[in-house]
Amino acid sequence: MVGGALMKLLALIPARSGSKRLPGKNIKTLNGFPLIVYTIQAAKDSGIFDEIAVSTDNFEVGSIAVYHGAGYIERPAEYATDTSPDVEWITHALTILKKVGRVYDAFAILRPTSPFRTGETIRRAFGEWGGRCCMKAIEPIKQHPHKAWRGDAHVIRPLIDTYNNHHLLPTQDLPTVYIQNASLEIRSVEKKNGIDMLYQPFFTQGYEGYDLNTLEDWILAEELIKRKLAVLPEVKI
């Protein structure tokens, strides 16, 4: 239910193989289960989706998805490269589903690398979504771009050219800047590409937007779980 209208909603979970920074990350075991399982469980826990589908070029990933209650859309290799834009696999998935009569009004992109996103997170996002083209999860940036520099071995200058010397100000006096995280996006199927770049923000809380892409990220995630500072969705088989 968005803006008073009943909508058909799809959860799309992208899980291509071939990660360079953390090989096999989507099915790497975290706290007893393959990483992707926590995203599938969060989608199920939200209780709002008419279908949950994993788009992957990897049969093992697809098998795990099916075992844990999601659908499996076999993604062509040409849509699963390091440089493949989202629009390619999204269009492919929506086309495959439409061919068998499964048509949706909106969908959420839920990436497996955000295991601390929960069903409540997803419900909150859809509760805030106004039904416009797109919503993107964001959080305050930790390293402010006004403190970034560019140049070479001989000279550097501020990354953001400015005449008001923002790079000299204390960080707390700089304008608030946000960065996107991988926990979720919501898009209208009618305007799935978000070409106008006008996104509604969704502000994640705590570790909801924590993203696992490197070994260091993984080690910290395990420590957060061990210390009970971040909570994973409870996997129900």
DSSP state letter for 5 = B
Q: How far apart are the first and last CA of the chain?
A: 28
DSSP bridge pairs for 12:
53, 109
Q: Give 170 or 129, the one with higher predicted confidence.
A: 129
DSSP secondary structure, 152-199, as one string: -SS-EEESS--SS-GGGS-GGGSPP-EEEEEEEEEEESTTTT-TT--E
C-beta of residue 87 within 8 angstroms of C-beta of residue 73: no
* Poorest-pLDDT segment among 73-87, 96-110, 118-132, 161-175: 161-175
What's the chain's average pLDDT?
Answer: 91
Query: For the residues 156-168, what does the mean pLDDT come to?
Result: 78
DSSP secondary structure, 91-146, as one string: HHHHHHHHHTT---SEEEE--TT-TT--HHHHHHHHHH--SSSEEEEEEE-SS-GG
Q: Give 130 or 212, the one with higher predicted confidence.
A: 212
> 149-151 and 156-158: which strand pairing?
antiparallel
pLDDT band of 103, cuts 50, 70, 90? very high
Among 153, 152, 172, 175, which Cα is nearest to 162's? 175
Q: Give 141 or 108, the one with higher predicted confidence.
A: 108
Q: Is the pLDDT of residue 4 over 60?
A: no
Query: For the residues 5-24, what does the mean pLDDT come to?
Result: 89
Please work out, in degrees rounded to the nearest 5, the angle formed at the alpha carbon of residue 212 by the alpha carbons of 186 and 183.
Answer: 15
Rounded Cα distance, 180 and 201, in Å = 9
C-beta of residue 234 within 8 angstroms of C-beta of residue 41: yes
Domains in the chain, CATH or no CATH each: 9-137+179-226 (3.90.550.10), 142-176 (no CATH)
Query: For the residues 174-189, what does the mean pLDDT come to?
Result: 92
Q: Is the pLDDT of residue 106 over 60?
A: yes
* Poorest-pLDDT segment among 35-49, 177-191, 192-206: 192-206
* Poorest-pLDDT segment among 12-26, 140-154, 183-197, 207-221: 183-197
Among 97, 76, 100, which Cα is nearest to 88's? 76
Give pLDDT, residue 196.
Answer: 56
C-beta of residue 116 within 8 angstroms of C-beta of residue 207: yes
C-beta of residue 13 within 8 angstroms of C-beta of residue 110: yes
Q: Give 102 or 1, the one with higher predicted confidence.
A: 102
Work out the burial of residue 156: count CB atoms within 10 Å of its CB; fewer than 13 is exposed, 13-18 middle, 19 or more buried.
exposed
Token code pair at residue 165: 């010397």
Token code pair at residue 219: 């080690």
pLDDT band of 191, cuts 50, 70, 90? low
